[in-house]
Structure 1
Amino acid sequence: MPSISYHDAVNEALERMDDLGYERGAGVDLANHGPMGAEALAVLGYEGEVAGWVERYRVAMPHHEPPAARFPLDPDDESSWRPALGAFDRAGDWERLFARELAGAPWRDVLARWWPRLLPGLFAGLTHGLIRTAHAVRALYGSADGKPTQFQLAELARGLAYWAARYTALPGQARLRGSYDLAGAIAALPRVPGDGGPMHPGVARGRLARLADLPGYAEALDALAVEHAPYLLSEMTAQFSDVYLSHDEVFPVPLIHGVTAPAAARLVLPHLPADQYEPTLAALWQVHTALLLAFTTSRRGEGTGAWRAEPAPELRAELPSLDELGARAVEHGDEHVLKFTEACRREYALRPDPRFRAAVAVAQRRIAPLGK
């Protein structure tokens, strides 16, 4: 039995990280993963490890200063808030807006109001606006007494604020009126060959900037057929575990979000009106299409099971259990590994596909441990 509860471990972690800005890194703008990683660690059942992990995370990479609020945003006046979407220098204003909203209405009402407004910008921060929001939502409905703490509400305000401030609308619109299932839609998407160099984030950013002109992008948005939300979410997480396994030539972090973004949406959808399900699936498919075109140059082994023949030791023998992989994730410590392991464990419980376990095992090898 843990010596500290999930609720207390997460709340104490949020308090300890209350001073951290939205992003981190010297000369780069990487999302603050601290609250997400701490919450995932607690969900994995390692509540007693959260405090120590938070201290290691804080010193692993410098965080930027929290942005100051400057000009109020009016949530009831679209001409006030809409121009501030995607303006990171307004992050402090967004945080203050959401703090006011959450102080005056139940958090589910605030979420339902803003979800359709933010959804077209789902790619924000490589989907970290959505993911941070989802971890905050799970902490809120996981509260033992049902009463959110000030730090839990502040974390939801920051998740939504980061989403709004890094709001990134992709070109076109996915309508989910095609004839392919997800595997077929992925297979039908033509990849844009590279120049033979490594597929690092700088190359991907260039591709994202000209996404609308890349072959197959517009057609892909209309290729996928809509299905019942929980089923298609499981297809998304399983198929993009396969994508992750198939692309060891890609920098090892970005494609993880093809799994963690729909897994995060699954945490939030039960708290939203039913009419938000299909638009959320469409936005996720658009993000997936962008990830595939930006970061991959061919299908490689996608959909073939080729990963089973990979010489990596973790795939040669019987795959470790997810409990064992959870223990390894805690020892590894990297925030992406923690979040990915927790998401895949949760998805595996709904659909016991071996690709979840294999993808976690491979990610734990490809990604450097915390502080390394």
Structure 2
Amino acid sequence: MTATGYLDEAYDRLHRTGPEFGGDRDGNNGLANHGPMAAEVLVRRGHGAQLEPWLDRYLTRLIELPDAREEITRRNLPRAIGGGRGRLGDWTAYFGRQIAERPWAEVLREWWPTLLPGITAGATHGAIRVGHAVRALGEDSSAIAQQELAHGLAFWAARANPIPAATGPRGTLDPAEALAGIPHLADQSGLIAQRLGRLATLHGWPEAQAALRPAADPDDVPRLLDDLVHAATVRYLRRAHGSPILLVHTATAPNAVKNTLPALPRELWAPSLTAVWSAVAAVVAGYEPADPAPRAELPEPPRADDPVADLIDRAVDNGDEHVIKFTDTAVDVYERTGDPDALAAALRARELIRPEV
């Protein structure tokens, strides 16, 4: 089977399931459906043959896609944004129609600026799923691949969640320096929405976000995003113990945004950087431990002749969806920078995150 065949078959199975599962009736403390994102990585990294058995196991954890209850129209659209689990079916039907009737890139360009303020939707999984879908559409423009974008946009719209006191970059620091200056919440307990709610009163929160240097021009945005992904990936190595799963998204969210840029008009690039930077900073503030783990106690990069292939194989053997996605991002960083700590960070994720049985 071709790569696109593997992926289209996976999308066909996954689109019968909802974008989240678990938690209470309202979806609080639930989990995001990572199936489409992990499937895109497995196929792109040459492991399409492993996708079907991986999905056989993963699908047992998911729930059916909720039914649409109320059609989204121009009149009720504003109150439907951020409406939660009860609007997932409505938004999926809405974006399914939009993408069936218009070019997918046109729908994406129209909705991207509306959704950006709520980028922490589903702990940033709305934006991440969209990023994986856009990357897949570069190779596969089938109708079902386009519908995967509809599912990602629907999840983002239903779970849109603004970041309190979000502030754009206007300082002089590069991403690594700016990340080091993010203050941590004294009370890192509760759900992500509860932690985000505490940011408005966190001392130094607006100033820490503003300390990042802004992009000099649109061409500078991909460079800054690359640097942010790099900094977050290697930072994970020593701080992942604070929250191994949530802190994965400090790297995968900006990587997903960077992968979406080619499909967006250049005037949206700088706002995209601003939004995802605040999202990364929010996760760092809410989940990162104040004290890093000693480097001597952490994994060393793989010493195989082909460390990238070795690392991808290890992630596939592990099977956890977060490990697969984070390894994909870490490999991107290593191939771009040559920094071996990026590979070590992926091993740290594999060490800390065990797959669900």
Question: Normalising by the residue count of structure 2, what TM-score does the alignment of the two structures yield?
Answer: 0.91
Q: Residues 123 and 167 of structure 1 are in contact (CA less than 8 Å); yes or no, is this contact kept in structure 2?
A: yes
Secondary structure of the residue aligned to 1:171 is coil
Which residue type is aligned with residue 147 of structure 2? A
Q: Which residue of the partner structure matches residue 185 of structure 1?
A: 178
> What is the alpha-carbon distance in structure 2 between the residues aligned to residue 182 and residue 255 of structure 1?
16
What are the equivalent positions in structure 2 for 1:86-125 lying under 5 Å apart?
Answer: 86-88=82-84, 89-125=86-122
Q: Does 1:244 align with 2:239?
A: no
Distance 1:169 1:221 in 2: 15
- Matched pairs, number: 347
CA deviation digits over 1:307-328, x for unaligned, max 9? Answer: 3x22x4x328748812101001
- Tell me, yes or no, if the aligned pair for 2:166 and 2:209 is still in contact at 8 Å: yes
Give the equivalent residue in structure 2 for 1:67.
66
For 1:180, give the aligned amino acid: L
2:335 and 2:87 map into 1 onto residues whose CA distance is 40
Q: Deviations over 1:176-222 (max 9, x none)?
A: 2112222222223333445xxxx6x6276543221110111111221
**RMSD over equivalenced CA pairs, Å:** 2.0
8 A Cα contact 1:337 1:364, kept in partner: yes
Normalised by the size of structure 1, how large is the TM-score? 0.88
**1:318-360: CA deviation from partner (whole Å, max 9, x where unpaired):** 4881210100111111111111111222232222222211110
1:68 alignment partner AA: D
Aligned to 1:330: 316
- The residue that corresponds to 1:255 in the other structure is 247
Q: Whole-Å Cα distance in 1 between the matches of residues 158 and 319 of structure 2?
A: 28
User: How much does 1:229 deviate?
Assistant: 1.2
| Displacement of 1:68 | 1.6
**Cα gap change, 1:203/1:154 in structure 2, threshold over 3 Å: closer, same or farther?**
closer
Q: Secondary structure at the match of 1:170?
A: coil
Residue in structure 2 matched with residue 209 of structure 1 by the alignment? 197
Instruction: Give the alignment partner of residue 213 of structure 2, picking from 225, 230, 238.
Output: 225
Alpha-carbon separation, structure 2, partners of 1:134 and 1:84: 22
Over the matched positions of the two proteins, sequence identity in percent amounts to: 37
- 1:250 CA displacement: 1.2
In the alignment, is the contact (CA less than 8 A) between 2:185 and 2:285 conserved in 1? yes
Offset from partner CA, 1:33-84 (integer Å, 9 cap, x none): 111111111111111111111101112x2x233222122223xx3x531211
Q: Tell me how far apart the structure 1 counterparts of residues 15 and 283 of structure 2 sit (CA, whole Å).
A: 31
2:346 corresponds to which residue? 360
**2:214 match: secondary structure:** coil
Aligned-partner SS, 1:202: coil
SS at match of 1:226: coil
Q: Give yes or no for contact 1:241–1:356 (8 Å, CA) kept in 2.
A: yes
The question of whether the paired residues in 2 share the 8 Å contact of 1:180 and 1:223 is answered with yes
Q: Which runs of 5+ in 2 are unaligned?
A: none
1:85 aligned residue (78, 81, 89)? 81
